[in-house]
């Protein structure tokens, strides 16, 4: 399928979703939301894809937020429906049964920061700039920025970033625990591909179960979360990959997981 605002590249077990509006710093407009929905579902349903990378075209931006030019004509109801749609999309990304890596190659602001935070792991170039500047437009983050940010870096630092609308550099974001790794700009995709290659060797059903245990259990009481973890642990024992993993360990060879 042809896309206008993004590119979807399938390279073996790796899917790369490239936000492709560099002239607008890859700002997320309504057309891109619809195409992201399609691309995410396509990689979800492709059994050959084991890892997903989301990044931006060019060397200036991952995504510099929502497309503000579309805000002028939005009514309150339009705006509410727009962010609800973004929230559903970002939840879908967060809950993909496959690892999703954000490769942040520049500005990740507003909706771009919210998209980044919906990914499982975040690698950023040392030139990346990150923030939730919506307060400067007289509005607030609406696609998870007030919620995921607080969960990732704590309420006080989240309030500071949201209420001031200031951008921070990659090293500061890493220090806050918002990023997994900061690398030189020319090495970003090299390092991301190394991580993707490593993740692609893991058992797909175990990856799915691990993500579910962490995401679902995070807001549960510990006792309930432990019970959920135990149930998922038991379900892993019904898979062929569990038998392959155990046999490979005992036979001192690398496992060959099939996602069954």
| pLDDT, tens digit (0-9, with 9 covering 90-100), for 127-164 | 999 999 999 999 999 999 999 999 999 999 999 999 99
- Please, are residues 113 and 94 in contact by the beta-carbon 8 Å criterion? no
Domains of the chain and any CATH numbers: 6-200 (3.90.226.10), 204-250 (1.10.12.10)
Decide: helix, strand or coil at residue 42.
helix
- Please, are residues 5 and 42 in contact by the beta-carbon 8 Å criterion? no
Packing angle between helix 222-236 and helix 204-217, nearest 10 degrees? 170
Beta bridge partner(s), residue 19? 6, 56
Q: Are strands 100-104 and 6-11 parallel, antiparallel or unpaired?
A: unpaired
- Please, are residues 17 and 53 in contact by the beta-carbon 8 Å criterion? yes
- Please, are residues 107 and 129 in contact by the beta-carbon 8 Å criterion? yes
| pLDDT, tens digit (0-9, with 9 covering 90-100), for 84-121 | 999 999 999 999 999 999 999 999 999 999 999 999 99
Cβ of 176: how many Cβ atoms within 10 Å?
17
Rounded Cα distance between 3 and 92, Å, is 19
Strand order, beta sheet including 129-131: 61-63, 107-109, 129-131, 168-169
For the whole model, what pTM was predicted? 0.94
At which residue do the structure tokens 């407009």 appear?
Answer: 29
Rounded Cα distance between 239 and 212, Å, is 16
Q: Would you give per-residue pLDDT tens digits along the chain (260 residues)?
A: 689 999 999 999 999 999 999 999 999 999 999 999 999 999 999 999 999 999 999 999 999 998 888 888 899 999 999 999 999 999 999 999 999 999 999 999 999 999 999 999 999 999 999 999 999 999 999 999 999 999 999 999 999 999 999 999 999 999 999 999 999 999 999 999 999 999 999 999 999 999 999 999 998 999 999 999 999 999 999 999 999 999 999 999 999 999 89
pLDDT in the model for residue 1: 60
> How far is CA 14 from its chain centroid?
15
Which are the catalytic amino acids? 114, 134
- Please, are residues 167 and 133 in contact by the beta-carbon 8 Å criterion? yes
* Sign of the alpha-carbon torsion through 205, 94, 56, 113: negative
Rounded Cα distance between 253 and 58, Å, is 41
């Amino acid at each position: 399928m042809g896309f206008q605002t993004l590119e979807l590249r399938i390279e073996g077990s790796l899917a790369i979703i490239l936000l492709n509006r560099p002239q607008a710093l890859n700002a997320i407009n309504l057309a891109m939301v619809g195409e992201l929905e399609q691309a995410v579902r396509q990689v979800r349903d492709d059994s050959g894809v084991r890892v997903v990378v989301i990044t931006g075209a060019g060397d200036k931006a991952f995504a510099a937020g929502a497309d503000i030019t579309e805000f002028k004509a939005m009514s309150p109801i339009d705006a509410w429906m727009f962010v609800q749609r973004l929230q559903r999309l970002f939840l879908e990304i967060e809950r993909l049964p496959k690892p999703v890596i954000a490769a942040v190659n520049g500005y990740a602001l507003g909706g771009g920061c919210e998209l980044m935070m919906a990914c499982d792991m975040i690698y950023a170039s040392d030139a990346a700039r990150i923030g939730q500047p919506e307060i400067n437009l007289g509005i607030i983050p609406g696609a998870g920025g007030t919620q995921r940010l607080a969960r990732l870096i704590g309420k006080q630092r989240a309030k500071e970033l949201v209420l001031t609308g200031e951008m921070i550099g990659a090293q500061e974001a890493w220090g806050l625990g918002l990023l997994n790794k900061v690398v030189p700009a020319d090495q970003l995709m090299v390092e991301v591909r190394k991580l993707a290659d490593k993740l692609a060797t893991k058992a797909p059903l175990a990856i799915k179960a691990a993500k579910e245990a962490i995401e679902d259990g995070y807001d549960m009481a510990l006792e309930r979360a432990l019970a959920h973890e135990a149930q998922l642990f038991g379900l892993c024992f019904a898979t062929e990959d569990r038998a392959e993993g155990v046999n490979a360990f005992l036979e001192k060879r690398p496992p060959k997981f099939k996602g069954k």
